Amino acid sequence: MENGEKYGRLTLVRKLEGYGGRNVWECRCDCGNLCRVRMSSLKSGHTRSCGCLRRERQQEKFQDLTGMRFGKLTVISFAGQKRGGASLWNCRCDCGNETQQFGTNLRRGLVVSCGCVRRESGKRQYKQNIHYVNGTQLELVRSKKIWKTNKTGVKGVYQEKRTGKYIASITFQGERKILGRFLTLKEARQAREQAEKERDEKLEGMLLAQNEAKAPL
């Protein structure tokens, strides 16, 4: 545990003394509030904010989603509230299936179909350790595997035959983005690494939101 470490919206400020040996930290929430949280709650993911997250969710719970579209899903009607107050909605998918989804998942774009999109997009994954964020498989995008056709040894960097320049690119959610053409491999590698970092941060954020949506309030 170190100052500056982040858990959800909370950043560790300092360890507090005088809690009978319990590991309690003062944290700064992204919203600006200071709060005291036990380390075990942070580590378990039980506490992720000063309480502002919970309040925000309370407010968004009662938003009527009827008639709204999320990906291939159209919300037909309210299906009731689950334990903790999370609202469930009846949705019809473009493929004809009907499905019930949580409002938070719909609003955050974590559910975009009855499941048919994922089924169509390839082999089903049975392993528990495969994580999806909006249909992006974390383990796959983060893999360091380099294709045989890659001659530079740096993932996502290729040398253009005609000019000899190094082209760095990154693929995210099915879209390939060219990061630039560089004179040296080093520059191309830096551009790629920076883009990977940004992508990973984005994915972490999405995964966090997804986990929060799943967790009971």
Residue of 41, 90, 97, 169 interacting with Zn ion (CB under 5 A): 97
Note whether 49 binds Zn ion by CB under 5 A: yes
Note whether 50 binds Zn ion by CB under 5 A: yes
CA distances (Å), 2 to each of 12, 44, 201, in order? 7, 17, 20
Residue of 42, 75, 86, 93 interacting with Zn ion (CB under 5 A): 93
Give 12's Cβ-side CA count (13 Å radius): 18
- Minimum distance of Zn ion from residue 94's CB (angstroms): 6
Q: CA 73, 74, 75: angle at the middle one, nearest 5?
A: 115
Size of the site for Zn ion (CB under 5 A): 12
Sign of torsion over alpha carbons 183, 184, 188, 193:
negative
Residue of 87, 101, 113, 210 interacting with Zn ion (CB under 5 A): 113
Strand arrangement, sheet containing 98-102? 69-70, 73-81, 87-93, 98-102
Stretch that binds Zn ion, among 107-115, 139-147, 152-160, 186-194 (CB under 5 A): 107-115
- Minimum distance of Zn ion from residue 48's CB (angstroms): 9
Nearest to 6 by CA among 24, 22, 28, 34: 28
Note whether 95 binds Zn ion by CB under 5 A: yes
Nearest to 53 by CA among 167, 209, 190, 173: 209
Q: List binders of Zn ion among 14-43 (CB under 5 A).
A: 29, 31, 33
Residues near Zn ion (CB under 5 A) are: 29, 31, 33, 49-50, 52, 93, 95, 97, 113-114, 116
